[in-house]
Structure 1
C-alpha cells in the first residue's frame, strides 16, 4: 500500500498544480473579456459620424424626428447610463440592436459566422500543414538551396499586406492579365441559382482566391517557427543515439526530432486560429465575402455602434479563447510549464 501511495502522491501533486494553473489562466481570460467589453464601448464612440443621420438616409427631417430616433436607440441618454445598460445587457447575451439592419446584433453575427469559419478554417488547415511540412524540410536541409528559397519566399509573403495581395490576385486571376485569363470570380460567395453539388462547386470556386491570399500571407510564420524549433533539436544527443542504432534519416526526423520540436508550433497553431478569425476583415472586404469581416466594415462606415461593439467583442474573444487553450494544452505536452 505504501508503494502505491508513494506513486500516487506525485500524480496528485501534478494534478493539483495543473488545476491551479488552469484556474489562473481561466480567470485571466475572463478578466480580459471584461476589459474588452468595457474598451469596446468607449473606443468606438470616438469614430466620427452620426448614426441617426445615417438612419434617415440623408433626407431632411425635423428635430422632433431626430429626437425620436435617438430615444428609440437610447442615444439621448447620458454616456454613463448607456454604458451601464450596455454592460447589463451584454452580460446576459444581449448585444443590442443594429442601427442599420434593425435586427438583434447576435442574429447578424450568427448569420455571418459560418461563412467566416468556412474561409478561415479552410485557410488555417492549409497554411498550418504547408508551414509545418516546408519548415521541417527546410530545417532538415539547413543551409541548402531549398532551405534558402523556402525561407526567403516565406519571409517575403509574410511581409506583404493581405489586402494588397488580394487585390493583386483579383487583377491577375479574376480580371485577367496578359496571357492569363480571368479564371475566378472577383468576389462574393456564390453566383446564385445553384443547388446541391453544383452549389458546393460554386462556393469552392469563389473560395479559391481569398483562401490563397490567407495561406500565402500566413504560412510563413508556421514555417519559420517549425524550422527554428527543429534546428534547436538537431544537435541533441538522442538524435545521435538514434542514428547510431542504424535508423534511417527519415525515421529519425519523423519519430524523434519532429515530435520534440512541436511544442512551439502547437502553441502557434492555437494562437493563429484565433488571430485568423480576428484578422480576416481586410480579406473579406477585398473579396466581398459575406462574413464577419465584411459585416464589421459595413458597421464601421455608419457607424453602427451596437454591431461594431458586438463584432469587436467576438474577434477579441476568439483571440483570447485560442490563447487560453494554447496555455492549457502546453503543460500537457511539457508538464514543467505548470509547476
Structure 2
C-alpha cells in the first residue's frame, strides 16, 4: 500500500534542481569573470610596455628641450641626463619604469620638476567635471533619441535624427569647437559673443558666483562633446533596436495584448542594450582621458591639456603616466561592461 507524498517531499526535488541550476550559473559567471580579469591584467601589462617604447620614438631630445634658450654646456647636459636616468641602457630604463609603475610611482616630470602622480591628481577634477557632465548628457540623449528613431523607423523624425547624427559624427571635435568659439564666443554678424573663449573660470568670483562662472565656461566645451557623443550613441542604439524589432518574442508580446509602449520598454529595449552598454562604458572610460583636442581648443585645465603640454616637450615620464591612466581607465570600464553582460543577458558567459 502506497502512502501519499507530503508537500515537502513533492517540492524538494524542484528545490534541488533550482539550487543546482543556481550553482552552475554561479560557477559559469565566476569562470567568465576570472577570464575577463586575466585578460584585463594582460592588457594592462601590454599598456606598460607600449607606453614606454612608443614615446621613445618621438623626435626631439627631452634634455635639450628643457634647456631651450638657456646656455648649457655639454657637462651640464650630461648631468641632467644622469639625473633623469636617460644615460642608462634602454632595457634598464624599462625595468626601472615597470618596477616603479607597479608600485604607483609614475616618475618625475622633466618639465614641471614634480611627481607625475601629483600633477595628474591636480588635473583630474577639472576633467571629470567637464567630460563627466558631457557623457551623462549625451548618453541619455542618444539612448532616448535612438530608441524613438528605431521604433518609428522611416518616419520624418527618424530621417531627421539620423541625418543630423551622421553629420555630427563625421565632424572633427576640434573643428566644431573652433566653430562654436567663432560664432558664440567671439561673435559673428548679429550674434554677440555670449560665452568665454576658453579657460575654466574668470578668477575673480567666489561662492555661488564661482559656480555660475564655471558653468558659463563649460557651456561651449560641453556642447562640443555632447554634439559628437550623442550622435554615436543614437546610431548604435538605433541599429541595435532595429535588429531586435523582427524578433518573434515581440510578436508574441503584442499577441498577448500588451501596449506598444510596454513592448518597447520591457522587451525590445533591454535586449538591444548590450552594444550600447559597451559604448557607454567606453565613454565612461573617456571621462578619465577627457578629450585632448577639445580641452586644448578651449584651454580647459584638465588631463587633456596636460597631455598636450607633455607631448610638446616631450616630457616622457608625464606622457607615459598619462597614457597609462587613460588606457587603464578604458581597460577598467571594458572589464566592468564584460562583468555586467551576464546580468543583462544570462546567455553571455555560459
- What residue number does 1:124 align with? 135
How far apart are the structure 1 equivalents of 2:18 and 2:272?
29
1:113 match: 124
Match of 2:39 in 1: 28
Q: Which residue of 1 aligns with 2:262?
A: 251
Note if 1:78 corresponds to 2:89.
Answer: yes
Match of 2:304 in 1: 293
Deviations 1:260-290 (A, max 9, x none): 3222222221122214543611111111111
Residue 264 of structure 1 is aligned with which of 272, 275, 279?
275
1:240 Cα deviation (Å)?
3.2
Partner of 1:223: 234
Partner of 1:176: 187
| Equivalent position to 2:62, from 51, 57, 63 | 51
Higher Cα Rg: structure 1 or 2?
2
Matched, 1:160 2:171: yes
Question: How has the CA–CA distance of structure 1 residues 276 and 93 changed in structure 2, closer, same or farther, with 3 Å as cutoff?
Answer: closer
Distance in 2 between residues matched to 1:3 and 1:154, nearest whole Å: 51
Deviations 1:109-162 (A, max 9, x none): 111011111111101011101101111111121101110110011011001111
The aligned counterpart of 1:326 is: 337
Is the 8 Å Cα contact of residues 172 and 182 (structure 1) preserved in structure 2?
yes
Query: Could you say what secondary structure the match of 1:190 adopts?
Result: coil
Distance in 2 (alpha carbons) for counterparts of 1:189 and 1:206: 6
Unaligned runs of 5+ in 2: 1-11
Shift of 1:202: 0.6
Indicate conservation of the 8 Å contact 1:242/1:252, yes or no: yes
Q: Report the TM-score when normalising by structure 1.
A: 0.96
1:68 and 1:283 map into 2 onto residues whose CA distance is 38
CA-based RMSD of the aligned residues comes to 1.5
CA contact (8 A) 1:98 1:307 kept: yes
Structure 1 residues without counterparts, runs of 5 or longer: none
Q: Is the 8 A contact 1:267 1:330 kept in 2?
A: no
Is 2:77 the counterpart of 1:69?
no
TM-score by length of 2: 0.93
